[in-house]
Homo-oligomer: A and B are copies of this chain.
């Protein structure tokens, strides 16, 4: 394992990341040649807050992934997706992380507000929404993990 590059073989790709512990609960994480990501925890969770915590990165991944899918599928369906902004948040019961109760340590619930202006073939809007939730990797990872994102769609078709 541990190749630094993303490689495509038939339809399967492998993505990777590597990290080094720095101090406390802080680490420096690298993906290919990009700038390092700093991951830490706030003081309330035993860290020094030098960077987002790992589950904040997961929430961010959802935002980035859903953005990709709306543009990709919008292109397929002839819908121009502009002014796209996504907010996402998830609830974590810390008793799972600390081992003090038998609860899931990851997201209990996950919510997102997806707002954009739609132009072009707006009659395909329902299909855009259904395809995005069906095909988005991070959406489906969360769904399969039992915390399907609840999407609040805010679409402006007046543009």
Q: Which residues of A contact B (CB under 8 A)?
A: 1-3, 6, 8, 11-21, 24-25, 27, 29-32, 34, 37, 39, 41-42, 44, 46-47, 51-65, 67-69, 71-72, 81-99, 101, 104-108, 111, 113, 116, 131, 134-138, 140-142, 144-146
Q: Is the CB of A131 within 8 A of B25?
A: no
Copies in the complex: 2
B137:A56 contact, CB within 8 angstroms: no
Contact A94 to B13, CB < 8 A, known contacts A55-B137, A106-B141:
yes
Instruction: Let me know if A57 and B55 touch, CB within 8 A.
Output: no
Main secondary structure of the interface of A (DSSP, over half): mixed
In the complex, are the beta carbons of A57 and B56 less than 8 A apart? no
Among the listed B13, B37, B42, B82, which residue makes an inter-chain contact with A91, where contact means beta carbons less than 8 Å apart? B13
Give the CA-CA distance A84 to B18 in the complex, in Å. Answer: 11
Chain B residues in 8 Å Cβ range of A46: 72
CA of A134 to CA of B58 in the docked complex: distance in angstroms? 19
Instruction: Collect the chain B residues with CB atoms within 8 Å of residue A44's CB.
Output: 8
Question: Closest 10 A-B residue pairs measured CB to CB?
Answer: A39-B64, A54-B65, A21-B84, A19-B63, A16-B89, A17-B60, A106-B141, A31-B52, A144-B145, A17-B59
